[in-house]
Amino acid sequence: MIGWNFGVLGASLALVSIPAMAQEAGTVPQPTRERAEVALGVLRHGADFHPLGSKLVFNLPQLPPGQVYDGMEENGTTDVQLLYRSMPLRFLLKPRLTGKLQINTDGRTSFASAGAEWRQHFLRGAVYVQGGMGLTVIDGYRFTPDPFAPGISPMEARSRYVVYQRRTSFGSKVLFNPNASIGVRLGTRWSAELAWEHYSHHSLFSAQNPGIDNVGIRLVRRFGH
């Protein structure tokens, strides 16, 4: 977990330093016609980091063996994200339509999302920030099976307890996906991004709403010439 802290910090410093180095070398990309994009990302699943709330740490609290905090059962694993962005539309402040598939590499919850993102450029197009909102369907649990339910066999209780320790009850199969990222142009076709993805349903579909935050990096490639 400490390694992830330094990794995210290092990625942040790299994203900040690249435009300055490019400007000194006279290679800052100039704004060009925006096109559709694809991206490949690696994110920490359950980073315990919410920039709009009170969770601002990356390390999980320590518990005795066999115990787990509700909503943190999946924290600390890794996701691979595939992303598609359309070219900007010509209305509503020029949003980009997005599709994302975020797959957990440890057999935990994965996410399939569709939404929109809005982008703003800075430093002659070398840096951009963007925010978005999407709707997500998960392959995980609305509610995990109760391992303490009366009348079940010891084998069933053990099986359910493994799920109880490893999987999060999100309270809904459909979640909202507010997200944000900072990008740096690496040339006319490539960019690197530091990304934050949040998934929750704001207690609209049930009282159970732990939510989950993911942070990581993406490599982006633009279509076209």
Q: Which residue has the higher pLDDT, 174 or 51?
A: 174
Write out pLDDT tens, residues 10-26: 554 455 454 545 444 44
**C-beta separation of 8 from 56 below 8 A:** no
List the single range of 30-39, 96-105, 121-130 with lowest mean pLDDT.
30-39
**C-beta separation of 135 from 113 below 8 A:** yes
Share of the chain above pLDDT 70, in %: 76
Q: Whole-model pTM?
A: 0.80
**Rounded distance, CA 195 to CA 180, Å?**
6
- Please compute the mean of the pLDDT values over residues 39-68 and round it to a whole number: 69
Average pLDDT taken over every residue of the chain: 84
**C-beta separation of 35 from 125 below 8 A:** no
Please state which CATH number belongs to domain 2-222: 2.40.160.20
Give me the residue spans of the domains in the chain.
2-222
Q: Is the pLDDT of residue 60 over 90?
A: no
pLDDT of residue 72: 83
List the single range of 28-32, 124-128, 164-168 with lowest mean pLDDT.
28-32
Retrieve residue 82's tokens: 């595939």
Q: Which residue has the higher pLDDT, 17 or 153?
A: 153
**Rounded distance, CA 182 to CA 192, Å?**
8
DSSP 163: H
Q: Is the pLDDT of residue 191 over 70?
A: yes
> How many C-beta atoms surround the C-beta of residue 195 within 10 A?
22
pLDDT of residue 185: 95
